[in-house]
A and B are shown apart, each in its own frame.
Chain A
Amino acid sequence: MFEWFSHFNYVVVIILMMTGLYTVFASRNLIKKLAGLSVFQTSVFLLYITIGKVNGGQPPILVKDKSYGTDDDGQALLDGVVQVAAGNESYILPGPGSDVLYSNPLPHVLILTAIVVGVATLSIGLALTVRIREVYGTIEEDEIESADFVYNLEGTAD
């Protein structure tokens, strides 16, 4: 049971991923398929963000000098404080060479890009659905296929 909680995020990611993928394949409604696709893509965003988390880490930004407490084993999370000249106060600079634990910012940046891509895909998909609705008068795949049945038999448009 404890093992499960240590991988809690991954369990959520897998459940979301499979739900999304199943929805894409199982539903015959164009909008529902797109909803499934969005859930599937969102699960990947969560996966990436989970990768970026460092246990006990702080956001990778300049912070004021303060103590960070101890981790589960009683070890101090921070050994020392890196001071940078920023006004009169001492700041900690996370980065190579500093002792500050900080979460990895790179996956977040990647996912910002992936979210934009996901939005573009979804909007194109919805626009296509609108056009399909205009032309066929339905967004159910079965009805679209039966409407094209004669077309497909003759192999020509008109």
Chain B
Amino acid sequence: MSFLDLVPDWLLIHGPAFLMALPLIMAAVTAILPNKRVAWTSTFIVTAILTLTAFAIAIYNAEVGTTIYKMGGWAPPHGISLVIDALSAPLVLLIALMGFITVIYAMPATVAEIKPNKRAPFYAAFLLCIAGLLGMVVSGDAFNVFVFLEVSSISTYVLVAMGAARDRRALSAAYNYLILGSIGATFYVIGVGFLYMETGTLNMADMARILADLDGGSRVAKVAFGFIVIGLGLKLAMFPLHAWLPGAYAYAPTPVTVFLASTATKAALYLLLRFTFFVFDPSYTYVADVLMFVLVGLGVVGMVFASLQAIFQTDVRRMLAFSSVAQVGYMLLGIGIATTASVAAGYLHLLNHAIIKGGLFLALGAMWYRFGITRTEDFQGLGKTMPLTMGAFTVLGLSLIGIPFTAGFVSKLNLVYAAADEGWWWAVGIIMLTSILALIYIGRVLLAAYFQSPPEIKGVVVARNEAPLSMLLPMWGLAIASIIIGIDASAIVDASTRAAELLLGTG
């Protein structure tokens, strides 16, 4: 690889620690920088460096396989280890890349949405959130994961509340998110405590080894698993635990929504994968039961009900938020079937959905930026007034439904194959049904945009007013990425298959 030759050796060796240290340090620096362009520039540079580092680490991982970084030179299981493997490397790249894309978009968006004296703290909180999410993904220590989970969550509460300058409901949304998020994190930490009682270690690989020796462990391990699944379920918006999500997505500042929708629930899903397949194992009966009855059951119910709720929303942001809950259901279904193909499909859908939903919220943010649009009925004539933005929204919306030659089609098709291989034809039927429901809620918006003429205000037809370039570039970047994945998905499918093989030990 020629790209790796350009990367200094120390970055490849210390990359995992660098990924967390850089945004943490720069968050403190950014908080005291002047508010105008300087804070944005510093964040832009940091996220650009993070993206390049994550890219180098992902390529390096594909070449040399799993690398374990010993934090401070202390060997695991006593020291804290940072693990880059086939499961975490794609997610590290995804988080860094979505951070970078969000920052490009955030330049005009924050000017419109954040008060001038709050902009530097906004970027500082944003960097903290990136640091927390990256830390969650690379850490190989169960308690360390909790600390990073809280770093990212607490900065997210602040970021969501900053939407109050635009919509006062952001405050109560942030408050609800704080209450439910803290309960989720505390459940997780109770689970880790019980696991520590059972195994006497906090290192995930060590826990996995000891639990395997104990043949799944005693009742303490079962209780631990229950607490961890519920805690992470709250964080990843598993169906009945998703109450915080629509409010937080709808009323947060638009750059925050973009970043949250594409990374926060994904990092929690990654942890669920890590715990169900890596620390615990589906061969223990209690894990298999939870996969079969809780994850599949709630996933499927969530797919149907959240899609139905999305159809009846008047606010487009809430509509897309409920659609996110439904898409989490697809991923849970993939995890719950628990074959290599299905876990790969779930992981693939996780990556694809991050791209799709991030792009959709970017387009929606651009519409708010130009016309203050949040309601479905305001979409009339947008195909004429904002053709490029609406074009990106259309491509990504079709991808969300799962039209052929888009990313959504690839992951849904893989999920259908995986379910059919196991003979789960009812699951195939439900995937089809919810795709039709997605067609209804996305189609409703597209119909208004393309087949109604722009509204007249005081007798004048609203003129064409396209979004600025720094908004169009990231959104079309994601739209084109979703088409490229739809045409040739081999790279991303290979990555998710490697991740699933690592988890299920079939590689």
Write the residues of chain A forming the contact surface with B, with a CB cutoff of 8 angstroms: 21, 24, 30, 33-34, 37, 40-41, 44, 47-48, 51, 106-107, 110, 113-114, 117, 120-121, 124-125, 128-129, 131-132, 135-136, 141, 144, 148, 151-152, 155-157
Chain B residues with CB under 8 Å of A40's CB are 183, 186
Write out, one digit per residue, whether chain B residues 356-376 have a CB within 8 A of any chain A CB (1) or not (0): 000000000000000000110
CA–CA, A83 to B367, complex, Å?
75
9 new A-B contacts, CB < 8 A, other than A34-B179, A124-B158, are: A40-B183, A51-B196, A106-B202, A117-B154, A120-B154, A121-B150, A125-B175, A155-B315, A157-B168
Cβ of B22 < 8 Å from any Cβ of A?
Answer: no
Chain B residues with CB under 8 Å of A125's CB are 175, 178-179, 182
CA–CA, A5 to B134, complex, Å?
44
Instruction: Check if B154 sits within 8 Å of A128, measured CB to CB.
Output: no
Instruction: Check if B157 sits within 8 Å of A124, measured CB to CB.
Output: yes
How far apart are B224's CB and chain A's nearest CB, in angstroms?
12
CA–CA, A40 to B196, complex, Å?
20
Which B130-157 residues have C-beta < 8 A from chain A?
143, 146-147, 150, 154, 157
How far apart are A41's CB and chain B's nearest CB, in angstroms?
6
Whose C-beta in chain A lies nearest to the C-beta of B151?
Answer: A117
Assess A24 versus B183: contact at CB under 8 Å? Given A47-B193, A51-B197, A129-B175. yes
Q: Choose from A44, A47, A132, A155 the contact partner of B172 (Cβ within 8 Å).
A: A132
CA–CA, A128 to B183, complex, Å?
17
Cβ of B503 < 8 Å from any Cβ of A?
Answer: no
How far apart are B486's CB and chain A's nearest CB, in angstroms?
32
Instruction: Check if A132 sits within 8 Å of B171, measured CB to CB.
Output: yes
How far apart are B45's CB and chain A's nearest CB, in angstroms?
27
Whose C-beta in chain B lies nearest to the C-beta of A133?
Answer: B171
Chain B residues with CB under 8 Å of A131's CB are 161, 164, 171
Cβ of B274 < 8 Å from any Cβ of A?
Answer: no
How far apart are B110's CB and chain A's nearest CB, in angstroms?
18
Q: Is the interface of A mostly helix, strand, loop or mixed?
A: helix
Chain A residues with CB under 8 Å of B189's CB are 44, 114
Whose C-beta in chain A lies nearest to the C-beta of B166?
Answer: A157
CA–CA, A21 to B412, complex, Å?
38
Chain A residues with CB under 8 Å of B421's CB are none
Cβ of B190 < 8 Å from any Cβ of A?
Answer: yes
Which B161-200 residues have C-beta < 8 A from chain A?
161, 164, 166-169, 171-172, 174-175, 178-179, 182-183, 185-186, 189-190, 193, 196-197
Assess A21 versus B183: contact at CB under 8 Å? Given A113-B147, A124-B157, A155-B314. yes
Write the residues of chain B forming the contact surface with A, with a CB cutoff of 8 angstroms: 143, 146-147, 150, 154, 157-158, 161, 164, 166-169, 171-172, 174-175, 178-179, 182-183, 185-186, 189-190, 193, 196-197, 202, 314-315, 318, 374-375
CA–CA, A144 to B193, complex, Å?
37
CA–CA, A5 to B365, complex, Å?
59
Q: Choose from A117, A155, A156 the contact partner of B147 (Cβ within 8 Å).
A: A117
CA–CA, A148 to B171, complex, Å?
12
How far apart are A134's CB and chain B's nearest CB, in angstroms?
9
Q: Choose from A106, A117, A124, A135 the contact partner of B164 (Cβ within 8 Å).
A: A135
Instruction: Check if A44 sits within 8 Å of B157, measured CB to CB.
Output: no
Assess A128 versus B157: contact at CB under 8 Å? Given A117-B147, A155-B315. yes
How far apart are B182's CB and chain A's nearest CB, in angstroms?
5
How far apart are B168's CB and chain A's nearest CB, in angstroms?
5
Q: Is the interface of B mostly helix, strand, loop or mixed?
A: helix
CA–CA, A148 to B189, complex, Å?
35
26 contacting pairs across A/B (C-beta < 8 A): A40-B186, A51-B197, A106-B202, A107-B196, A117-B146, A117-B147, A117-B150, A120-B150, A120-B154, A121-B150, A124-B178, A125-B182, A128-B161, A128-B171, A128-B174, A129-B175, A131-B164, A131-B171, A132-B172, A135-B171, A155-B314, A155-B375, A156-B315, A156-B374, A156-B375, A157-B166
Chain A residues with CB under 8 Å of B186's CB are 40-41, 44
Instruction: Check if A157 sits within 8 Å of B167, measured CB to CB.
Output: yes
CA–CA, A143 to B252, complex, Å?
22
Chain A residues with CB under 8 Å of B175's CB are 30, 125, 128-129, 132
How far apart are A129's CB and chain B's nearest CB, in angstroms?
7
How far apart are B157's CB and chain A's nearest CB, in angstroms?
5
Chain A residues with CB under 8 Å of B202's CB are 106, 110
CA–CA, A28 to B157, complex, Å?
20
Chain B residues with CB under 8 Å of A151's CB are 169
Chain A residues with CB under 8 Å of B169's CB are 148, 151-152, 157
CA–CA, A33 to B164, complex, Å?
21
Chain B residues with CB under 8 Å of A21's CB are 183
How far apart are B279's CB and chain A's nearest CB, in angstroms?
17
CA–CA, A148 to B247, complex, Å?
13
Chain A residues with CB under 8 Å of B171's CB are 128, 131-132, 135-136
How far apart are B248's CB and chain A's nearest CB, in angstroms?
13
How far apart are B142's CB and chain A's nearest CB, in angstroms?
10
Chain A residues with CB under 8 Å of B154's CB are 117, 120-121, 124
Whose C-beta in chain A lies nearest to the C-beta of B153?
Answer: A121
Instruction: Check if A136 sits within 8 Å of B168, measured CB to CB.
Output: yes
How far apart are A153's CB and chain B's nearest CB, in angstroms?
9
Chain A residues with CB under 8 Å of B375's CB are 155-156
Q: Which 5 A-B pairs have the closest CB atoms?
A: A155-B314, A155-B315, A157-B167, A117-B150, A132-B171
CA–CA, A51 to B146, complex, Å?
18
Whose C-beta in chain B lies nearest to the C-beta of A52?
Answer: B196
Whose C-beta in chain B lies nearest to the C-beta of A13?
Answer: B190
In this complex, which of A132, A136, A141, A152 has the most chain B Cβ atoms within 10 angstroms of its Cβ?
A132
Q: Choose from B157, B182, B193, B374 the contact partner of A41 (Cβ within 8 Å).
A: B182
Instruction: Check if A47 sits within 8 Å of B190, measured CB to CB.
Output: yes
Instruction: Check if A48 sits within 8 Å of B150, measured CB to CB.
Output: no
Instruction: Check if B172 sits within 8 Å of A144, measured CB to CB.
Output: yes
